[in-house]
């Protein structure tokens, strides 16, 4: 039988380029980021979903009433990463966090950076820090930082 002890291995990179249609609600959200605004949607019951959600997950109501929230809010949970992996967008120690923005009833996942682990706990207030480039993506908010 031929030799198969030396494994054949080869690195490869899988790349996809997608252009996703935003739809009427999210396109307004991403336009809002361009104006340094964080937009949410409000249900007929008055519940505010941030970032702007297209449907209420509990009642299935279609949402298109947009309201501004934040840019500050309180941390609902966080996970501190001392050693970011190479695919992480922040290269220094940072946290992923669920942030309940002022005026919202749901929390938003994003990153918290430019601080120390000891600065963060549930309830810590943070505020959006904007990227210098505006690409109509969630990363137009570069991360959140401690509210001073």
Partner 1 sequence: MSTEEKPKDYSESPINLEYFYTAGSATTRFLNQVKEGKLVGQACPKCKAVYVPPRGSCPRCGVATNIEVPLTDKGCIESFTVVHIPIPGNPIVPPYVCAMIRLDGSNISFLHLIQGVDIQEIRIGMRIQAVWKPKEEWTHSLENIKWFAPIDEPDIDVATLRFKES
Partner 2 sequence: MKKVAIIGYAQHPILSNAGALNEVELIMPVVHHLFDELGIDQKNIDFTCSGSCDYLQGAAFAFVEGLSAIQTNPPIKESHVEMDAAWAMYESMLKIQMGDADTALIYGFGKSSPGNLDSIMSLQMDPYYISPLWPDRVSLAALQARVLLDKKIVTKEQMLSAVIEARVNSKNNKNALINDLIDESTYLEEEIISSPLNAFDCPPISDGSSAMIIASEEKAYEYTDKPILIEGIDHRIESSNLGSRDLSSSKSLQASMDHLQLNNFEFDVAELHTQFSFELPFLRSLLGLVDVPTNLSGGPLVGNVMMCAGLDAIGKTYESLKQNDLHRGLAHASSGPCLQHNMLVHLEKEQ
The residue whose two tokens read 């899988």 is: 14
By rule CB under 8 A, what string of x and - marks binding of each residue 14-33 to partner 1? Answer: xxxxxxxxx-x-xx--x---
Find out whether the peptide bond into 71 is cis, omega within 30 degrees of 0.
yes
Residues in the chain: 148
Residue 22 binding partner 2, by CB under 8 A: yes
Phi/psi of residue 34, each to 5°?
Answer: -60, -25
* Residue 30, H or E segment: helix 23-34
Q: Which residues pair with 141 in a beta bridge?
A: 130
Residues 83, 68: Cα–Cα separation, whole Å: 34
- 45 contacts which partner out of partner 2, partner 1, none, CB within 5 to 8 A by kind? none
Residue 82 binding partner 1, by CB under 8 A: no
Q: Residue 147 CB, nearest distance to partner 2 (Å)?
A: 19
Residue 113 binding partner 2, by CB under 8 A: no
- 136 contacts which partner out of partner 1, partner 2, none, CB within 5 to 8 A by kind? partner 1
List all residues 6 or more positions away from 117 whose beta carbon is below 8 Å from its beta carbon. 80, 82, 93, 95
CB-nearer residue toward partner 2: 96 or 127: 96
* Interacting residues with partner 2 (CB under 8 A): 4, 7, 9, 12, 14, 18, 20, 22, 26, 49-51, 53, 57-58, 76-83, 85, 87-89, 95-98, 100, 106-111, 117, 122, 137-139
């Amino acid at each position: 039988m031929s030799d198969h002890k030396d494994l054949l291995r080869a690195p490869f990179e899988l790349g996809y380029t997608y252009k996703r249609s935003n739809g009427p609600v999210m396109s307004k959200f991403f336009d809002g980021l361009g104006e340094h605004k964080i937009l949410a949607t409000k249900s007929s019951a008055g519940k505010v979903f941030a970032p702007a959600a297209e449907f209420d997950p509990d009642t299935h109501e279609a949402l298109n009433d947009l309201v501004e929230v934040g840019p500050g809010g309180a941390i609902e949970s966080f996970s501190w990463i001392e050693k970011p992996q190479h695919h992480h967008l922040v290269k220094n120690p940072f946290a992923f966090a669920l942030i309940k923005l002022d005026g919202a009833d749901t929390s938003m996942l994003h990153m918290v950076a430019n601080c120390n682990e000891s600065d963060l706990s549930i309830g810590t207030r943070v505020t959006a820090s904007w990227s210098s480039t505006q690409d109509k993506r969630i990363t137009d908010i570069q991360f959140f930082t401690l509210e001073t």
